[in-house]
Chain A
Amino acid sequence: MQEFFQQVVSGIAIGGIFASLALALVLIYNAMGLVNFAQGEMAMFATFVAYALINRGMSYWIAFPITLVLAFGGGILIQRLVIKPVERAPVLTLVIITLGLATLVNGFAGFIFGYVPRSFPSPFSADSADLFGVFISYRDMGVIAVSGLVLLGVYLLLQRTTVGLTMRAAAHHPEASRLLGVQVSWMLALGWGLASAVGAVSGIMVAPILLLEPNMMQSIIIYAFAAAVLGGIESPLGAVIGGLIVGVTVNLAGAYLPGVGGDLQLAVGLAIIIAVLIARPNGLFGRAAIRRV
């Protein structure tokens, strides 16, 4: 039983990481009805930036916010350079472009940083604390705390600030927003910046667990897809809850399901995606899509 709870807690920790990346996907989906296949690679690249900063002797807690700011700027830059020229193109065109972006960023990271896996520091001690008989590592607690803070921050930004309000309006009602003086195109860019920064958090949190290399996020993005689809791809809250469910499920499946083990955990992610899409395509918190003729 004790081991079970430990598995659940580390599932929540890894789920928080999935949730951050899933939230990034949802932000862009809401802004332009698009799944950004490059989200994971952008996060990986930001993690390399953090690595480079820390390697130059910068302290972790200074490098972390600087990386987020750089990721934010990078997201805006990508939106302006690559996405804006095709803003009105059909969604499949945009998907192919984000896939090209994913491939490009992946190759670019390999070009600059190479393919040798590197260990990435964690600011949290590897020790465990005894909470009512369940041993919980400080790392798991730290990851849960950081993810929680980020998700709370995004929630407050979107729900409680004017910028957040105009971002939501621009995403859902671009034409009406323009008539209210909202600079829709820049709001979309801001959405990309925000998504990029939130995604970067997931990269930085997962790097100490996985080792940093250009293909690091390839499996994480699948779990994030699963989380976003499970939560209902347009619901930020759904992404968070979906992330936690996927994290715990994958962790428990790896530990207890015979035949799954470490190497087929990813297949569990795929199974979740397919099961949700077949049984409940709108996810737990999504609304049924209305087709316009």
Chain B
Amino acid sequence: MMPRLRNAPPRYWLVVIAVVFFLGFPTVISSFQSSLWAQALILAIAVMGLNILVGYSGQLSLGHGAFMALGAYTSAILAHRYKMDYLLTIPIATLFTGLVGFLFGFPALRLSPLYLALATFALAVVTPSLIKRPEGLTGGVQGIILIQPDPPPFASDLFAAVTGTAMTSDQWIYYISLFCALLLFWVAWNLVRHRPGRAMRALRDGEVAAAAYGVNIAGFKTLAFGISAFYAGIAGSLFGLATGFVSPDTFPVSLSIQLLVGAVVGGLASIPGPLLGAIFAYFLPIEANQWVPSQSWIPDQVASTVKNAGPAVSYGVLLILIMIFAPNGIVGLIRAGYDWLYRRLRGATDRETGQLPPDPQTV
């Protein structure tokens, strides 16, 4: 225990730096860029939810896009049909999705992780056509267009005082997303440090053994699924707000794959992992789509194919390579690099007490 503590990176400072960075970021980038970063933060919330399920309880969901869709449509329908304030719909949608996830967790807890993966994957594939059907409620293929809220005076004034320009609704939505992300990451951090987190990890590392130690398997599996759906629900609800629009095509299977890429690339069973992974998974196709057509040596026809096929190819390659070579993702690589550097700087004197890193396999 002691050597690991001593080796630990200065976490608190990293957290403070990250918070300051994200608070100040919209003051230096455009309103449009803020909107993109808001979506990346929202994705990070959903990835965090998936991470709680996969990384900390060893169950695999390939259908978290479906829970995002549920959250988004709950909010959109309440705001559009029942004229509720969108911000008020967010907690309702979140709790509702969490509840559905919890109920979904009941049959799921009887299944092997493999079957759960299979069922949730099927759910993700079917979701768009399920949304299309009740047209009166969901607007069918057309979807629902949402009105984005204006920033309240206090926020707008504060922002104007710093930057000299008024706050746009995109920037306001960015701050709402940031607030939610910070809150939910803090909750996740507390969760995994305390009893539920330990129980879930015990579950992941061996169900039978966990039961022998008195962990209520059924309860915690269901709980993990519920919490994870809760995160996906709030992410979906915010996502509708950020894009100003929900439609069946907002939630294809590839969204669920994108969430999994975020979780795996960032590093399963870590708290900063989902943030890094989500930012990566969100901006990779966007940046690539801007970069490829701008290169004059790439023929137009190739460029347009890359635009369509690029994300799938790169996500696929990433999933495979990371699972084979770096199962702990970016965070694992950073930790390994830090440990290596630390040992280098400390020299040979510390080698006796230097412990081997824990087994890198986390799923």
Interface residues of chain A, those whose CB is within 8 Å of chain B, are 33-35, 37, 82, 85-86, 89-93, 95-97, 99-108, 110-111, 114-115, 218-219, 222, 225-226, 229, 263-264, 266-267, 269-270, 273-274, 277-278, 281, 289, 291, 293
Q: Are B119 and A103 in contact (CB under 8 A)?
A: no
6 contacts between A and B (CB under 8 A): A35-B114, A82-B324, A89-B327, A92-B60, A97-B323, A106-B316
- B313 at the A interface (CB under 8 A): yes
A167, chain B: closest CB distance, angstroms:
21
B343, chain A: closest CB distance, angstroms:
27
Q: Are A219 and B125 in contact (CB under 8 A)?
A: yes
Cβ of A100: which chain B residues have Cβ within 8 Å of it?
315-320, 323
A121, chain B: closest CB distance, angstroms:
25
Bound-state Cα–Cα, A167 to B115, Å = 24
B217, chain A: closest CB distance, angstroms:
12
Closest residue on chain A to residue B106 by CB atoms = A278
Cβ of B317: which chain A residues have Cβ within 8 Å of it?
100, 104
Bound-state Cα–Cα, A114 to B307, Å = 11
Chain B residues 111 to 160 lying within 8 A of chain A, measured CB to CB, are 111-115, 117-119, 121-123, 125-126, 129-130, 132-133
Interface residues on B, range: 35 or more
A157, chain B: closest CB distance, angstroms:
26
- B276 at the A interface (CB under 8 A): no
Interface residues of chain B, those whose CB is within 8 Å of chain A, are 54, 58, 60, 62, 107, 110-115, 117-119, 121-123, 125-126, 129-130, 132-133, 207-209, 253-254, 257, 260, 264, 305-306, 308-320, 323-324, 327, 361, 363
Bound-state Cα–Cα, A93 to B260, Å = 12
Closest residue on chain B to residue A215 by CB atoms = B253
B103, chain A: closest CB distance, angstroms:
12
B230, chain A: closest CB distance, angstroms:
21
Q: Are B316 and A263 in contact (CB under 8 A)?
A: no
Q: Are A263 and B122 in contact (CB under 8 A)?
A: no
A117, chain B: closest CB distance, angstroms:
14
Cβ of B112: which chain A residues have Cβ within 8 Å of it?
289
Q: Are A264 and B129 in contact (CB under 8 A)?
A: yes
Bound-state Cα–Cα, A111 to B58, Å = 34
Number of A-B contacts (CB under 8 A): 147
Q: Are B260 and A96 in contact (CB under 8 A)?
A: yes
Bound-state Cα–Cα, A293 to B320, Å = 29
Cβ of B121: which chain A residues have Cβ within 8 Å of it?
37, 225
Closest residue on chain A to residue B302 by CB atoms = A111
Q: Are A103 and B316 in contact (CB under 8 A)?
A: yes
Q: Are B125 and A277 in contact (CB under 8 A)?
A: no
Cβ of A291: which chain B residues have Cβ within 8 Å of it?
207-208
Bound-state Cα–Cα, A226 to B306, Å = 33
Cβ of B314: which chain A residues have Cβ within 8 Å of it?
107
Known contacts A277-B107, A277-B111; A95/B318 CB under 8 A: no
B120, chain A: closest CB distance, angstroms:
10
Known contacts A35-B117, A103-B312, A264-B133; A293/B323 CB under 8 A: no
Q: Are B305 and A114 in contact (CB under 8 A)?
A: yes
Bound-state Cα–Cα, A33 to B114, Å = 9
Bound-state Cα–Cα, A101 to B320, Å = 7
The listed residue (A105, A107, A222) touching B125 by CB distance below 8 A is A222
Q: Are A96 and B133 in contact (CB under 8 A)?
A: no
Bound-state Cα–Cα, A105 to B313, Å = 7
Known contacts A100-B316, A100-B319, A274-B119; A93/B132 CB under 8 A: no
